[in-house]
Structure 1
Amino acid sequence: MKRFETEPRVKRDSVAEPLVEKQYEAEEEQALEEPVKDEELVKAPQNPTKPPVRERLLDWAPFLGVFLLGAILRFWGLGDKPLHHDESLHAYFSLQLLHNMENWLGCFSPGASCYHYDPLLHGPFQFHFIALVYKISQLVGAPDNGVNTTTVRILAATLGTIIVCLPYFLRNYLGKWGAWLACFILAVSPSMVYFSRFAREDIYMACFTLLLVVSVARYIRDRKMRWLLLAALALSLSYATKEATFLTVAVFGSFFGALVAWELG
């Protein structure tokens, strides 16, 4: 006889089968309810994936165009116009400072005529940096031994161009197109263009003040030390440029003082 005919059939217990199935279901539910261990979790990337290079270039392109426009308006024909009276004072005393630095020991001689800080002319930031531009221009062989109507205005044009770029760092506050519009207005503003081609403390002061605002705003948002250091640098250079920085401190100080008083109730 065949095997399946001789072996007794295994009888299934109709009562036991549902119990076994329920036991398996209970074990599965218990496994689902147990918390997953930390090492079993798949960690998400810490830094979000950067957009592709093409998208970033398209995002930067409108700003780069405005920055280039601002630079052209400030540097094109920079030395064509004769010096204003105030510009001539800054140019002369910067040249005097350059000569003093070449022979600084002579300034200790009695009756020596050397550069010194004068509140009437403000400074001393602009005089030191214009003298530095003179020296670099001499080294590269610029006309008139590096001292001319162009070189005296290079510092103003440079900081005037930096002003155009600063709203870019406020995109999180102004939005992309709001920041772009701010950059564009600063780039083509007749007043900003004029003073960016004018060797006086006005544009230096404006640049450092806006840099201070941008740095403080970014530090409040990001809490990164570099923005705090940049804010301190901007405030220091502003003090070294013009005494009106006391008014800037008064404006900022009154706002933060009122904010602290409001928070403390």
Structure 2
Amino acid sequence: MTSDDGVGASAPTNAVSRSESETATPEPLLAGARTLYAVLSVTALALLARVVGLGARIMHWDEGRVGYWALRYHENGEFFYRPIIHGPFIPVVNDWVFTLVGVSDFSARLVVAVVGGLFPLAAWLFREHLDDTEVVGLALVLAANPLLVYYSRFMRNDVLVAVFSVFALGFVVRAVDTGRLRYLYFAAVSMGLAFTTKGNAILYIACYLGAAVLVFDHRLVELAARGDSVGSYLRSRPAWAKRRLTSRWNTFEYGAGVLAVNVVGALLVFLAIVAFFYAPRPELGQALGNPAALPGVLDEATVGAAESFYDSWGSGDHQDHPYLPFFYGLSETLVYGAGLTLVFAVVGLAVDGYGSRSAQVDGGGDGGGRGRRGRRWLVAFGLYWGVASLVGYPIATDIEAPWAAVHVVVPLAFPASVGIAYLYRETRASVVARDTVSVGLAAIVVVAALSGVVGANAAYIDSTSQEDKEVLQWAQPDNDLKATMQTVGRIAETNEGVDVLFYGSYHPTTDETLLYVENEESLERMPPGGPAWHSRLPLPWYLERVDANVTSTEPSENGTELQNPPPVVVAYEWEADNLREQLPGYTEHRHLFRLWSDEVVVFVDESAIPEE
């Protein structure tokens, strides 16, 4: 791949006046196959960073909810789409993972970690529009941004939908760049998987279309500023498209229908993937043996799923919140969790838009082409997409959660890659010129980036640290609770009768019913038997794994008197004094149940713990 960005024979573009010998740009470190090897190496490190210690943190409230229903599906084979827990990808795929490697916190998060770890490979798809160093820079952002690292180690769909959507975009770009129609099918598979993870896949499509329109408008503005005829340019587009199709796809040589057939084929692949994942279970398996039932199952998997999604999210009830606090929270998360990415993005936009880079009139490969100054379409595309996400997600989200920042970091990674490449080139030039100040500043930036990744992983283990509250969602229990639940699991494996009692109570300020479920058998299938069940999360995930016998007491204004309590009793901290008197001899384990508020108390009869 050739480059016109100062990497190669041309001199670097900077404002510092140096002698010709000092400013001669070093030979590119990464070129051709070495760029691919670098991207593969970054990907390997990204996978390692996401998999090591993956099961160390106790499940988050949201992980516990999705994990519980995934586990129930794994056990009874029953599943149907419920928009509130997002798409069916995790339950369906984790069913296979649980079968292969068993059920654990590690295995529950494994698919998200692997997909997130493979994210840097997407950079290779854009190699015709970024130079070699920028491709590696993009891979580095996707591998090492602290938010992407943290939420790739979290059983949630945000990283999944981002990865699949970006791969889909990359495959479409490769189809245009190479004229190979097979990339359309790869794009269809990727986008189909994105739609099986989370409903905001449709926002990615909207952002892509909107950014493409703005990029095209930007092109027209540039033409008008140069004094060229915009009308002539627009009239020339059909002929240009025909030439491009002829040279790239040989469409007119083999017939215009070839492209149309492949586009339709790709759409059918997309629909097949969506239908497979959204089809209710076990009805899908039954329909495969009874073709007469298949149309009804497919209707439920497509039209029915779309209606369910609209009924849940399209009504606007989930978006009924003030805008500014959500916007502030998202911005704060970006500053704390992606500060360097933001800085590199600003630098990249400045370098790409106002530097000496030239680009073809019609766009093209070799890092952006030649012939005019101006920002490359991919860099502008990332900017428009990122700004739209920053402005739009405070409206689209139902709760103020830092994982929404993932969808802003990803588009800004494209201009950030240009900034990283610029830092790399300037640092190499400074080394040649023995400019120790510049080298030292670059070293500080690199150390800051590495410390951000290390900090994200440290926060992953110590998830109740107040220092990282800007990037952690509040419904995260204290990690010490995990050891207590392991003890409870050992008791449940040998105890006869009821193993765990949830002590139902009323919240002291909201009067909300907590922990009590009238019919525990209702928890065998979705939806759960009452909203109070959610106040137990993530404990049901751990109890279901060991097949614990669980019950609960109905809340009482004056407290509930226990008769023959089981070996484990779980209650909120405001009930601890009352229970302590009723549970003599029980050991009391106190844990933060949410990041900064609720505290849960687990009373354990030590005599019921089996000897190891």
User: Which of 87, 90, 95 pairs up with 2:66?
Assistant: 90
Q: TM-score when scaled to structure 2?
A: 0.30
Correspondence for 2:175:
219
Task: Write the letter of the residue equivalent to 1:98.
Answer: H
- For these two proteins, the number of residue pairs brought into alignment is 190
CA-CA distance at 1:64 after TM superposition: 2.7
Distance 1:211 1:61, change over 3 A: closer
Distance 1:256 1:93, change over 3 A: same
Moved over 6 A (4+): none
Task: Write the letter of the residue equivalent to 1:87.
Answer: E
Write the deviation string for residues 187-237 of structure 1: whole angstroms up to 9, x where unpaired. 111000001100011111111111111111111111212210011112211
**Residue 172 of structure 1 aligns to a residue in which SS?**
coil
CA-CA distance at 1:256 after TM superposition: 5.2
| 1:163 to 2:163 alignment | no
Correspondence for 1:115:
79
Task: Write the letter of the residue equivalent to 2:141.
Answer: I
Task: Write the letter of the residue equivalent to 1:158.
Answer: V
User: Which of 175, 180, 184 pairs up with 2:140?
Assistant: 184
User: Which of 241, 252, 256 pairs up with 2:197?
Assistant: 241
**Higher relative contact order (Cα pairs below 8 Å, separated by 6+ residues):** 1
Gapped runs of 5+ residues in structure 2? 1-30, 221-233, 238-612
Cα distance between partner residues in 2 of 1:115 and 1:151: 20
User: Which of 71, 87, 92 pairs up with 1:128?
Assistant: 92
Correspondence for 1:141:
none
Cα distance between partner residues in 2 of 1:133 and 1:257: 41
Distance 1:185 1:226, change over 3 A: same
Cα distance between partner residues in 1 of 2:32 and 2:131: 16
User: Which of 171, 184, 188 pairs up with 1:232?
Assistant: 188
Distance 1:65 1:255, change over 3 A: closer
Task: Write the letter of the residue equivalent to 2:152.
Answer: S
**Residue 174 of structure 1 aligns to a residue in which SS?**
coil
Task: Write the letter of the residue equivalent to 1:220.
Answer: V
Task: Write the letter of the residue equivalent to 1:81.
Answer: R
User: Which of 145, 150, 163 pairs up with 1:194?
Assistant: 150
Distance 1:56 1:216, change over 3 A: closer
**Residue 224 of structure 1 aligns to a residue in which SS?**
coil
Q: Percent identity?
A: 26
Cα distance between partner residues in 1 of 2:33 and 2:173: 25
CA-CA distance at 1:246 after TM superposition: 2.0
CA-CA distance at 1:57 after TM superposition: 5.9
Aligned positions of 1:28-177 closer than 5 A: 58-101=34-77, 114-137=78-101, 146-177=102-133
Q: Is the 8 A contact 2:43 2:121 kept in 1?
A: yes
Cα distance between partner residues in 1 of 2:34 and 2:190: 31
Distance 1:240 1:72, change over 3 A: same
Q: Which has the higher strand share?
A: 2
Work out which of the two has the higher radius of gyration on C-alpha atoms and give 1 or 2. 1
**Residue 38 of structure 2 aligns to a residue in which SS?**
helix
